[in-house]
Amino acid sequence: MQVAHFIYIISLILFLSACSAINKSNDKFDYFHQQDNFNIASISLHKITILGLIDDTHNLLPREKEQLTNQIFNAFADRVDAENLVSTENLAEQLGVAAYKQLFLAAKENRIESMSQIMTTNIAKNRYVLTTHLTQNTDHSDKNLLNDFLSSCHYYGRSIGLTMSILDTQNSQLVWSGHLEKNNKNTQCEDDDDWQNNNEHESKDDAKGLLAGMIIGLMLTAIIEDSNSVKETLTANELSPMFKQAVNDFAKRLPSFYH
């Protein structure tokens, strides 16, 4: 009977592990390019102007885009210092509302020469312009309704795609650009209580203490993991943390004196 109890406990552990299975996150650069003549000396001399976030997914509120644009500024400031950057607000003030709208539309449509012309005509001293496109923004919890109908498991997490480019307005060339995808989609399943019912009919005096102790330990572990999973789910479905990670991944590829 000891062998049978051992097999039962191992099966129970494998079952709980299966129910809390999580897919590992996946993020990668699809491509990245930097010209050799784009370096920290050029950045310090000519500065990088940060254009507001371009939402190609069309599902962000203006307030959200403003907050994410601030994250871009902060990440780049950590890499090249804030004095080497021109914020979106300062850019709009320098250009004026009409010219800024023209610049933003040109960036949205990837009209590089038009962007260069607008910049050099109005503020020639700011040579570099950073554009950021949010190309994907998928909240996987949106699929829970259909998935719950099919099984007791559901998805959570988010997938995003981000394209960041720096334009040299003096020659209308992209001197620094890349596209990054990040994904922390996870699967969470509800525990099956059948093993509790089976346990009522399968206990012997010589194994009661060991088995009860093992089960209590597993139950406590499962409760703690479920609590952590709830917190992780709430965080994983938010855009801001993953967006910040993606921008930081880009910022690490900036030329810098300090890193």
Q: Is the pLDDT of residue 237 over 60?
A: yes
Chain center to CA of 217? 35
Q: In sequence order, what are the beta bridge partners of 177?
A: 33, 165
Domains of the chain (ranges, CATH numbers) = 24-192+233-251 (3.40.50.10610)
Instruction: Please tell me the predicted confidence (pLDDT) of residue 23.
Output: 40
More confident residue, 28 or 258: 28
Which of helix, strand or coil describes residue 36? Answer: coil
Average pLDDT over residues 184-190: 78
pLDDT score at 19: 41
Angle (nearest 5°) at CA 174 between 169 and 176? 120
Amino acid code (one letter) for 247: V
Highest mean pLDDT among 16-30, 104-118, 191-205: 104-118
Residue 105 pLDDT > 90, yes or no? Answer: yes
Q: Does the pLDDT at position 216 exceed 60?
A: no
Task: Please state the rounded mean pLDDT for residues 46-62.
Answer: 96
The per-residue pLDDT for 168 is 97
Helix axes 88-95, 112-122, angle to 10 degrees: 70
Tokens of 182: 């990040």
- pLDDT (tens digit per residue) in 136-181: 999 888 665 554 555 567 778 899 999 999 999 999 999 999 999 9
User: What pLDDT does 141 receive?
Assistant: 81
In a 13 Å sphere around the CA of 251, the CA atoms on its Cβ side amount to: 22
Q: Exposure of 17 by Cβ count < 10 A (0-12 exposed, 13-18 middle, 19+ buried)?
A: exposed
